[in-house]
A and B are shown apart, each in its own frame.
Chain A
Amino acid sequence: MTTPLETSSQVTSEDPLRIGSFVLESRLIVGSGRYQDVQVMSESLELSGSDCVTVAVRRERLHDRDGENLLDHIDPERFVLLPNTAGCYSAEDAVRVARLGREILRSLGNAGADWVKLEVLGDTRTLLPDPVATLEATELLVNDGFQVLCYTSDDPVMAQRLKQAGAVAVMPAGSPIGSGQGILNPNNIRICLEYLKQDDPDYPVIVDAGVGTASDVAFAMELGVDGVLLNTAIAHARDPLAMAMAMRKAVEAGRLAFLAGRIPRRLYATASSPEDGVIATHPFPRKGK
Chain B
Amino acid sequence: MNIVVNGNSIDVPRACNIVQLLEQLDLDGRHVAVELNRAILPHEDHASRLLEDNDSLEIVTFVGGG
Q: Which positions in A face B, CB cutoff 8 Å?
A: 31-35, 41, 54-60, 62, 65, 67, 69-71, 81, 83-84, 86, 96, 99-101, 103-104, 106-108, 177-178, 209, 229-232
Contact = CB atoms under 8 A, between A and B. Distances in A.
Contacts of A86: 65-66
Contacts of B31: 69, 71, 104, 107-108
Interface of B: 5-8, 10, 25-35, 40, 42-43, 58-66
Given A100-B40, A107-B33, A107-B43, A65 B26 contact: yes
Given A62-B25, A69-B28, A104-B60, A56 B65 contact: yes
B25 A60 contact: yes
Nearest to A231: B66
Contacts of B5: 62
Given A58-B60, A71-B31, A84 B43 contact: no
A67 B28 CA distance: 10
A81 B25 CA distance: 25
A269 to B, nearest CB: 43
A231 to B, nearest CB: 3
B57 to A, nearest CB: 10
